[in-house]
Every structure is written in structure tokens, then in C-alpha cells.
Structure 1
Amino acid sequence: MQALKALALTGILLLSNFGSKENGLGVGDKAADFNLKNVDGKMISLSSNKAAKGYILVFTCNTCPYANMYEQRIIDLHNKYAGQGYPVLAIQPNDTGKSPGDSFENMQARAKEKAYPFPYVIDETQQTTTTYGATNTPQVYVLNKVSDNNFRVEYIGAIDNNSRNASAASKHYVQEAVDSLIAGADVSTKSTKAIGCTIKWSN
């Protein structure tokens, strides 16, 4: 009887963990570096930009309506903070077999159409996405440089608290986090729930 109970419990645990991608980096963890292909064909890593004091790392894509609603805000974040050492670096995490609209060629077209001022790289193996623990598009990781080529995660979550209307947002989580880092202060809101489309994982 005890053996049957143990087996049943194991089955429940396995089912509850099946397909889970929620384990990943947390606030305070060292950011994992990567080497991913940008829409211009060049390989990009955290160490590529020697002038960066940190990054606004955004998991986003072409096809998610929420990502589309936040697109201009992501561009605005880069334009506001890149010159202060905190540029945007966008990662497309979806499996392109399940989401053809997020193919590398479609990424190139989108970046050209919208004149992205930041790198837009593809995570073809989804290893970087898995390592970070991203689950949604868009989802932001604000990184701060702590030493040469070493970055720490300072914030994880949503860009602000109104996905549909930028002007109606009353909390600007990413802006507040980056402003705090520039001022040498602690980030007060360290994590929020990322609202958006679930990432399309390969089988």
C-alpha cells in the first residue's frame, strides 16, 4: 500500500513538472551570458558592448499581440537609456516551427520595418530562454554590471502595469529599476508578473 502511495505521489510530481520552464535565474543571480545571432547576421553576447553598464534584456517576438503593444515602449526604453549605459537587447525565444511568423527572416523584416535601434537576436536552441527561466513575451530582465563581463539580475517581470495603454500605466517598473541603478540606489520593486503570450517551446 505504501509503495502504491509513493508511486502515485511520484506520478503527480512528474505531471506537475512536465513541460515546466519556470525554473531559471532569480533576482540577485549572476546573469548567464550567451552568443546569439542578431538580425544583421552578427553574433551578440553580453560582453559585445564594452560600454554597457547593464542591459534591459527583453524576451519578445513578432507574433504576440502583447509584444506588439509594447514594441514602441521597448524602442523608447532603448532610446532613453542606451546613452546612459543601459541599452535594450531583445531575444526572440519562440520555436519557429511552431511559430513561423517568428522566423529569422521575419525577424529581419520586422526589425527593418520598425527601425529597431537595438539588437534583435534569435535563441534557436531555446537554451538561453530556458536558463533565464523566461515564460512570456514580453518579459524583461534588468541587468547591472558588477565587474568585467559579469552582470547581476536586478529586476524580472513586466515593463509597466498597463499592457494596452502606455499613457494609462501608473507603474513603470523597468524605468524605475534602471533609474535606481543609474542613481546607485537599490531597486525597490524587484519582480512583477510578466503579462503576455506564453513562449512556444519545441517538443
Structure 2
Amino acid sequence: MALLESDTQLEAGDAAPAFELEGADGKTYTLESFADNDALLVVFTCNHCPYAQAKFDLLNEIAAEYDDVAVVGINPNDAEEYPEDSLESMAEFVEDGTVQYDAYLRDDTQEVAQAYGAVCTPDPFLFERADDEAFELAYQGRLDDALNPDDDPSRYHVREAIDAILAGESVDLEWQPSQGCSIKWIDE
């Protein structure tokens, strides 16, 4: 298992790259599917990585607590080499309640992960809806300060960023990298 830190290619204010991906619920989702929300939290994640698994509960809580924030998990891992990251396995996680986000999407081509510059799972990107209705990057970095799966967090960076957005304030956080398993690229 290769451990990596996030290192985004996007900068604050950049528009969210578009996507059209199949969800674990069988529906197709695009960026516009979440246009009614004030903020969009896109997290590149997967089923099998212990670092990603350790954040399932936090992401479920955020999805439940914030009506104006869409939480979207995107799984880009090579499902041929890692069958536990297949769409079918993702659907099982949704059906058994392990994943309760607004959407859990499969990035089979890995083009979306590449467009965002995602490198690890979890790799979170928080966007705020701008005046022109587009989503712009407000924060990219760790969800909380528990970097290892068994650590207990004492600070929730993503909640601070979400609270700032919903209060109409700028996100005044240092972007500290997320940490997790490397994305399992096709033909590595």
C-alpha cells in the first residue's frame, strides 16, 4: 500500500471540473445534479483503503448535518485489479449503510480523478457555489487532523471550511494535505 499526500492541481477559485458518472444507486450524476446546494464536497475515496474507510462516518455525518452541502464520493480505483472497488461492491456499501453520502460515484476511466488532480484516498475538494452558479474551489486538504486510521480527530478542518462558506465568509484555512492510499491507476 503506497501512502501519499494530496497535492492538488487546482487553486482557490478554480471551477470544479465537470463530470458525468454512474452512481452506486444506478443513476447518472453530473456536476449540475448538485446545483441546488451552496457547497459541494467531492471526496475521491474507495472501499478498500483503511484511510478512506476511517472517514466514512465523518462524511456520512456531514451529509446528514448540512442540508446545503452535497457530499459526493468518487471511486477512481482500477476495479480490475481491486474488485472490492467495483460498482457492485460500492452498491453493497450504500445498501448496508456504510456509505450514506448524497452520491457515491464510479470513475471507471479515471479521467475525473485526473482532472481534479486527485492522488490519494481520501482526497477531498470543497467547492462553494459562486454568483454565476458555478462551483469554485474553496478548500482542498485534509478532512480532519486524524491522519492515521486509528487516530481520533481533535480538529475538523472540513467542518470549519463548510461553516465559513455557509456563513458567507472566505475559508481562512491553511491547506494541509490529506493522507491516504495511492489511487490505483489503470496500467501502472
Q: TM-score, normalised by structure 2?
A: 0.89
Shift in alpha-carbon separation, 1:101–1:77, aligned structure 2, 3 A: same
Mind listing any 5+ residue stretches in structure 1 that lack a counterpart? 1-20
Q: Tell me if 1:134 matches 2:118.
A: yes
Superposed counterparts of 1:151-162, under 5 Å: 151-162=135-146
Give the root-mean-square deviation of aligned CA atoms. 1.8
- 1:197 aligns with 181
Task: Give the letter aligned to residue 50 of structure 2.
Answer: P
Higher strand share: 2
Cα deviation code 1:91-141 (max 9, x no counterpart): 011111221110111111111112524210000100000000011101110
Mind listing any 5+ residue stretches in structure 2 that lack a counterpart? 1-5
Task: Give the letter aligned to residue 105 of structure 1.
Answer: E
- 2:69 aligns with 86
Superposed counterparts of 1:114-193, under 5 Å: 114=97, 116-163=100-147, 164=149, 168-193=152-177
Distance across 1 between alignment mates of 2:43 and 2:108: 16
Q: 31, 35, 49: which one pairs with 1:64?
A: 49
- Of structures 1 and 2, the larger Rg is shown by 1
Shift in alpha-carbon separation, 1:23–1:88, aligned structure 2, 3 A: closer
How far apart are residue 28 of structure 1 and its match? 2.0
Distance across 1 between alignment mates of 2:171 and 2:77: 29
The answer on whether the counterparts of 1:46 and 1:149 sit within 8 Å (CA) in structure 2 is no
SS of corresponding position for 1:36 = strand
Shift in alpha-carbon separation, 1:23–1:170, aligned structure 2, 3 A: closer
Task: Give the letter aligned to residue 128 of structure 2.
Answer: N
The answer on whether the counterparts of 2:41 and 2:72 sit within 8 Å (CA) in structure 1 is yes
The answer on whether the counterparts of 1:27 and 1:190 sit within 8 Å (CA) in structure 2 is no
The answer on whether the counterparts of 1:161 and 1:170 sit within 8 Å (CA) in structure 2 is yes
Q: 24, 45, 58: which one pairs with 2:9?
A: 24
Cα deviation code 1:119-170 (max 9, x no counterpart): 100001000000000111011100011145411011111110014357x422
**Percent of residue pairs identical:** 32
Number of residue-to-residue matches in the alignment: 180
Q: Which has the higher contact order (CA 8 A, sep 6+)?
A: 2
The answer on whether the counterparts of 2:44 and 2:123 sit within 8 Å (CA) in structure 1 is yes
Cα deviation code 1:149-193 (max 9, x no counterpart): 411011111110014357x42221100000000111111115211
Distance across 2 between alignment mates of 1:78 and 1:56: 9
The answer on whether the counterparts of 1:67 and 1:137 sit within 8 Å (CA) in structure 2 is yes
Q: TM-score, normalised by structure 1?
A: 0.83
How far apart are residue 72 of structure 1 and its match? 0.6
- 2:25 aligns with 40
Higher helix share: 1
The answer on whether the counterparts of 2:34 and 2:40 sit within 8 Å (CA) in structure 1 is no
- 2:96 aligns with 113
Task: Give the letter aligned to residue 59 of structure 2.
Answer: I
- 1:98 aligns with 81
How far apart are residue 23 of structure 1 and its match? 6.2
